[in-house]
Amino acid sequence: METLLKVRNLTIRYRSELTEREAVRRVSFDVAPGEVLGVMGESGCGKTSLGLALLGLLSKEHAEVSGSVMFRGDDMLTMKETSLQEIRGAGISMVYQEPGTALSPVMRIGMQISEIVHAHRQWSWKKCRAEAHSMLARVGLTPTERFFSAYPHQLSGGQLQRVALTQALICGPALVIADEPTASLDARSQCDLIALLRELKQGLRISLLLISHTPEIQASLADRLMVMQDGEIVEEGRFDRMYWRPVQGYTKTLLRRDRPAADRNFERADAEQEHAAR
């Protein structure tokens, strides 16, 4: 199986008038087609910068990015803006952390989705809009007319997250970068989103770079996991191995493997339910 994304020695250095700091240090990893690679780490470890850098979205004045990001054989870090534009949204797309702020407040949801289609396909606006409708239905935002003509401030956090997903998926990218997709959601919406992502992963064979500090999310979706600390990868491997036999102390902490009593209540509750079911 050929690799979809090959990142080698990626380094991101932020420069301001006062300080200079390396947010990401010589990070290397691969993403295969159809796989979910989870990225975990505390805030400030470089996860979000990583996602933005992959799409070339960090402004050149503030950040210096070096290394190589090979996507389908081309290095994205040396590409021209126009070539990058073609890949963004259609080859690699991103679901941003705060869905509310990632949408224009004065443009209708449907238009913000249709624009993306129009930017990548030579279709008529009518066709673009129809495509937007069908994608809205796919993610469960029905009746689609209502959501198409709504504005961001009229939707709840969970709905906005689905809109963000619609935008990311509509041009059929090979890789989706999801930055803390469940952070602003409550339990039920989180659950729904995970189920949706699972469905899409199986149905569309899309690769997912899942950035999330919540172990339950990673456990539900990730095939492989990468743990980052201070801009470096401290451990990576298949999720099951990482969970049942973690090597680094930091990994153990993130996956809550250092506190056997932590989920005791839930464990008991689940055990009871299972027992009752039998």
Partner 1 sequence: MPLDSEKTLKVGSGKQFGAEQAEELVRIEHLSKEYVQRRPLTGAEFTVRALEDANLTIRRGITLALVGESGAGKSTLGRCLALLEEPDSGEIWFDGKNLLKLSRRELFPMHRQIQLVFQDPTSALNPGMTAEEIITEPLAIHREGTKAQRRERARELMEQVDLPARLEHKRPLELSGGQRQRLAIARALALKPKLLVLDEALSSLDLLNQELILKLLADLQRIHSLTYLHISHDLRLVSQFADEVAVMHDRRIVEQQPASELFMQPHDRYTQELLAAMPSLESICAERLA
Partner 2 sequence: MRYITQRFFHAVLLLIAVSFFSFALLQLAPGDFFDAMRLNPQISRQTIGTLRSEYGLDKPLPIRYERWLRSVLKGELGLSLASNSPVAPLLRERARNTLLLSGAATVLAWLLALPIGIWAAVKRGGWADRACGLATSTILAVPDLLLFLALLLLAVRTGWFPTGGMASAGVDDLDRWGRLKDVAFHLALPAMGLALATMPALIRHIRSSMIEALESPFLRAARGHGIPRTRLVLRYAFPAASNPLISLFGFSVATMLSASALAEIVLSWPGLGPLLVESILSRDVFVVVGIVMLSSVFLVAGNLIADLLLFASDPRIRTE
**Which residues ranging from 150 to 189 are in contact with partner 2 (CB under 8 A)?**
151, 153-154, 167-168, 171
The β-bridge partners of 12 are: 24, 65
Q: Does 63 bind partner 2 (CB under 8 A)?
A: no
Tokens describing residue 212? 């999330």
Out of partner 2, partner 1, none, what residue 123 binds, judged by CB under 5 to 8 A for its kind, is: none
Burial class (CB in 10 A: 0-12, 13-18, 19+), 252: middle
Burial class of 21 by CB neighbour count within 10 A (0 to 12, 13 to 18, 19+)? exposed
141 binds, among partner 2, partner 1, none (CB under 5 to 8 A by kind): none
The least distance separating partner 1 from the CB of residue 159, rounded to whole angstroms, comes to: 12
| Residue 193 CB neighbours (<10 A) | 22
Q: Which stretch binds partner 1 (CB under 8 A): 59-67, 92-100, 126-134, 210-218?
A: 210-218
Maximum Cα–Cα distance for the chain, whole Å? 65
Q: Applying CB under 8 A, which part among 70-78, 106-114, 206-214, 218-226 lies near partner 2?
A: 106-114
Peptide bond into 181 cis (omega under 30): no
Binder of residue 261, out of partner 2, partner 1, none (CB less than 5 to 8 A by kind)? partner 1
Q: Does 123 bind partner 2 (CB under 8 A)?
A: no
**Nearest by Cα to 51 from 5, 116, 100:** 5
User: Helix, strand or coil for residue 82?
Assistant: helix
- Least distance from C-beta 216 to partner 2, angstroms? 26
Q: Could you say which of 101, 124, 142, 273 contacts partner 2 (CB under 8 A)?
A: 101
Query: Which residue from 9, 15, 42, 57 is in contact with partner 2, where contact means CB under 8 A?
Result: 57
CA dihedral 72, 76, 79, 83 (to 10 degrees): 60
Q: Under the rule (CB under 8 A), what is the footprint of partner 2?
A: 52, 55, 57, 81, 85-90, 93-94, 96, 98, 101-108, 112, 115-116, 119-120, 151, 153-154, 167-168, 171
